Amino acid sequence: MDSVRDLMPIMLVIGFFQIFVLQQPLDNVAALLSGAFFVILGLTFFIYGLEMGLFPIGESMAHAFARKGSVFWLLAFSFALGFGTTVAEPALIAVADEAAKVAARAGHIDNHAEAIDNYATGLRFTVALSVGVAIVIGVLRILKNWSIHYMIMTGYILVIVMTGVAPDEIIGIAYDSGGVTTSTITVPLVTALGIGLASSISGRNPMLDGFGLIAFASLLPIIFVLGYGMII
C-alpha cells in the first residue's frame, strides 16, 4: 500500500498542529478517517490506471504521429490537447472568476455582472489558448531540437519586461495562472506525448527532449495573461 505512505505526511502535519499548536480537539474523527481511506483508495486506482491507460495511449499516439510524418496533424493534436484540457479546468474557472472581481474592484472594467462575466471568460480563453500554443511550441522544440534553456529564458525576460508595464492587479493572478493550468489528467498525457515523440524520432534523447512540455504550459499563460491585462 504505497498510497498509505503517500498520505502519511499530511496526516502527521495535521495531527501535530491540532494537538500541539492549536490544542483543539478534532471533531469528526470518523469523517476524517473515512476521507483518508477514500484518498488512499483513489490514489491507488489512479496510479494503476495511469500505467494501464493514460501513459500507453499518450505514447502510442506520439508514435503513430511520428510514423505518419504529418507535422500539421501533430501540431493540431497538440493544440487541441492543450486548449481542450485547459478551457474546462475547474481550478482555472475559479481563478478567472476571482480575477474578474479584482479587476472590477480596481476599476479596470465596469463593476456589473455582465462585464465581470465577459472578463472572466476572456481570461479563461486566453489561458486555454496560451496552453494550446505552449504545447505546440514544445512539440516543435522536440521536432526541431531547439534548446529549451534559451526558450525559457526568453520567456522569463518577456515576463519581467511585461511585469513592469502590466497593471498591478493582474500580476499576482498572471503568475498564479501558470500553476493552475496543468491538471491531473493533462500532466500524464502531455508527459507521455513528449516522451513518446522524443523516443520515436531518431537522434532525440527522451530525458533531454521528452520533458519540457509542461514547462511551456506553465510559462506561456503568465505571458498571455499579462498581455491580456495590458490590452483590456
Q: How far is CA 129 from CA 137, 143, 169, 220, 229, in A?
A: 12, 21, 21, 9, 15
Binding residue (CB under 8 A) for other proteins from 47, 140, 143, 201: 47
Whole-angstrom distance, CA of residue 127 vs CA of residue 130: 5
Residues making up the chain, counted from first to last: 232
Binding residue (CB under 8 A) for other proteins from 91, 109, 140, 143: 91
Return the number of the residue (97 or 118) whose C-beta is nearest other proteins. 97
| Residues between 60 and 79 that touch other proteins (CB under 8 A) | 60-61, 64-65, 68, 70, 73, 76-77
**Segment near other proteins (CB under 8 A); pick from 54-62, 109-117, 118-126:** 54-62
Binding mask 131-150 for other proteins (x = CB under 8 A): -----------------xx-
The three grid cell numbers given for residue 220, joined into one nine-digit string: 506561456
186-200 and 113-144 helices, crossing angle to 10° = 20
51 binds other proteins (CB under 8 A): yes
Whole-angstrom distance, CA of residue 22 vs CA of residue 59: 48
Binding residue (CB under 8 A) for other proteins from 19, 41, 113, 165: 41
